[in-house]
């Protein structure tokens, strides 16, 4: 018998459950590599370490997580899934259906997740009655960020309609300023597109078109108007937009190289990480129109062998939903806590606006899942839409052709 075996035997005889002495371990796959994101994920690493956990980091750079999801598929196919994975929306259920997710119901029950999470969020975390993911935050997608000094200098207020947005952009462009900081990556095009769908069409139209995939909505004149607005906005980006990362677009607003960015509030994490102050250095407002597009980050645990790994998964799940983590992480990330019992006193005015709007839109029935961030649709359908949005944005395709292509692409993806 080796020393390790002797120890293991004696431990087993003293403990009802060997897991009590397991050393929590986790290999964590995520795509939080920008300045603000890295600060936020460090909060989880620190909490995990302070509870005796050892964390193996597997960051896969690439905003929106496309590259991370490709890396995940390769690992799972190789029979070597990471312990914990940043995963969200219907992708959680898609992986569950492949039979590769661990059940974290024991932690969820012990912590009473059913009582502390809003029902709409809890639904995303469940797979056939079990808990299969732990929610981290609520990001809002439909935001406009602006450089305050530029707007002040040109006598421009934050736009409340798309016409006002266009008028402001044209005034700025005439003054030699890039109106819209944008990164030409498919998920960023999709992010802008869905805010335009919400703003131009309204919440009910958004639901018909991008959640219910209603063919009439997809081919409607309203959708043509959405593509018209996308074409207009294509004229507001600088010549070097192709392939630019989202955080570099945020930096353009920060540094006064561009006036606006349309991006979820992870952009606020970048402003804050750079020491910028909301209301002084930068402004936030919801994109024109009603409604709220939510994007809830979460972690799913993959079915892996070993007590240490299982202990790591359970500890992560427990920490993620814990009150302290929910506060400190979200202060850094730009999002708001998923739990309504976390005080917002230390949060900034953009976060308070987000929380208030989330409550109001939940009442009004206009709290909607983001399609661009994988909350509304399965991968195949979301991908089909994004391909069209990107093809349109990067060509001179007419709005008529775009809606025809959109309807075809969606129909073929079903």
| List of residues contacting ligand GAL (CB under 6 A) | 31-32, 37, 63-65, 139, 246, 266, 295, 297, 373
Q: How far is the CB of 177 from ligand GAL (least distance, A)?
A: 25
State the Cα–Cα distance between residues 270 and 145, nearest whole angstrom. Answer: 11
Q: How far is the CB of 69 from ligand GAL (least distance, A)?
A: 10
Q: How far is the CB of 47 from ligand GAL (least distance, A)?
A: 18
Strand 367-369 to strand 292-295: parallel, antiparallel, or no bridges (unpaired)?
parallel
CA terminus-to-terminus distance, the chain: 58
Q: Which long-range contacts (CB under 8 A, 24 or more apart) does 214-221 make?
A: 215/407, 215/410, 215/411, 218/403, 218/406, 218/407, 218/410, 219/403, 219/404, 219/406, 219/407, 220/403
Reading across the β-sheet that carries 292-295, which strands appear in turn?
139-140, 292-295, 367-369
Q: How far is the CB of 293 from ligand GAL (least distance, A)?
A: 12
Rank residues 87 and 218 by Cβ distance to ligand GAL and give the closer one: 87
Judge residue 76's burial from the number of C-beta atoms within 10 Å of its C-beta, 0-12 exposed, 13-18 middle, 19 or more buried.
middle
Rank residues 134 and 407 by Cβ distance to ligand GAL and give the closer one: 134
Rank residues 189 and 297 by Cβ distance to ligand GAL and give the closer one: 297
Handedness of CA 150, 156, 157, 163 (dihedral sign): negative
Rank residues 236 and 294 by Cβ distance to ligand GAL and give the closer one: 294
State the Cα–Cα distance between residues 399 and 193, nearest whole angstrom. Answer: 13
Q: How far is the CB of 191 from ligand GAL (least distance, A)?
A: 9
Rank residues 195 and 314 by Cβ distance to ligand GAL and give the closer one: 195
Q: How far is the CB of 65 from ligand GAL (least distance, A)?
A: 5
State the Cα–Cα distance between residues 193 and 361, nearest whole angstrom. Answer: 20
Rank residues 63 and 159 by Cβ distance to ligand GAL and give the closer one: 63
Number of other CB atoms surrounding residue 358 within 10 Å: 19
Rank residues 137 and 220 by Cβ distance to ligand GAL and give the closer one: 137
Closest-approach residue to ligand GAL (CB): 63
Q: How far is the CB of 333 from ligand GAL (least distance, A)?
A: 7
């Amino acid at each position: 018998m080796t020393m390790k075996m002797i120890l293991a035997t004696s431990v087993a005889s003293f403990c009802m459950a060997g897991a009590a002495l397991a050393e929590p371990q986790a290999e964590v796959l995520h795509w939080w590599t920008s300045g603000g994101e890295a600060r936020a994920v460090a909060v989880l690493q620190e909490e995990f370490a302070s509870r005796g956990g050892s964390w193996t980091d597997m960051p896969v750079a690439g905003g929106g997580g496309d590259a991370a999801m490709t890396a995940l598929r390769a690992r799972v196919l190789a029979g070597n899934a990471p312990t914990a994975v940043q995963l969200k929306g219907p992708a959680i259920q898609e992986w569950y259906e492949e039979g590769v997710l661990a059940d974290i119901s024991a932690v969820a029950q012990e912590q009473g997740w059913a009582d502390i999470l809003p029902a709409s969020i809890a639904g995303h975390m469940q797979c056939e009655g079990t808990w299969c993911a732990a929610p981290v935050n609520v990001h809002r997608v439909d935001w406009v960020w602006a450089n305050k000094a530029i707007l002040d200098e040109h006598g421009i207020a934050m736009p409340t309609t798309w016409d006002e947005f266009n008028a402001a952009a044209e005034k700025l462009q005439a003054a030699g300023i890039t109106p819209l900081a944008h990164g030409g990556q498919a998920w960023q095009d999709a992010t802008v597109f869905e805010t335009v769908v919400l703003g131009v069409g309204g919440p009910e139209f958004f639901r018909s078109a991008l959640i219910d995939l209603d063919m009439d909505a997809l081919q409607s004149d309203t959708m043509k108007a959405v593509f018209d607005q996308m074409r207009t906005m294509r004229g507001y980006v600088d010549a070097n937009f192709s392939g630019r990362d989202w955080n570099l677009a945020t930096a353009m607003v920060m540094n006064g190289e561009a006036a606006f960015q349309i991006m979820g509030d992870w952009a606020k994490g970048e402003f804050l990480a750079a020491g910028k102050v909301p209301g002084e250095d930068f402004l936030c407002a919801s994109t024109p129109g009603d409604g709220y597009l939510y994007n809830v980050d979460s972690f799913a645990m993959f079915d892996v062998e070993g007590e240490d790994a299982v202990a790591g998964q359970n500890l992560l799940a427990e920490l993620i939903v814990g009150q302290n983590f929910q506060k400190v992480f979200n202060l850094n990330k730009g999002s708001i806590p998923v739990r309504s019992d976390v005080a917002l006193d230390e949060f900034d005015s953009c976060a308070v606006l987000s929380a208030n709007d989330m409550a109001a839109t939940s009442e009004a029935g206009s709290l909607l899942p983001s399609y661009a961030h994988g909350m509304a649709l399965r991968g195949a359908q979301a991908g089909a839409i994004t391909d069209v949005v990107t093809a349109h944005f990067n060509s001179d395709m007419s709005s008529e052709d775009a809606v025809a292509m959109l309807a075809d692409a969606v129909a073929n993806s079903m």
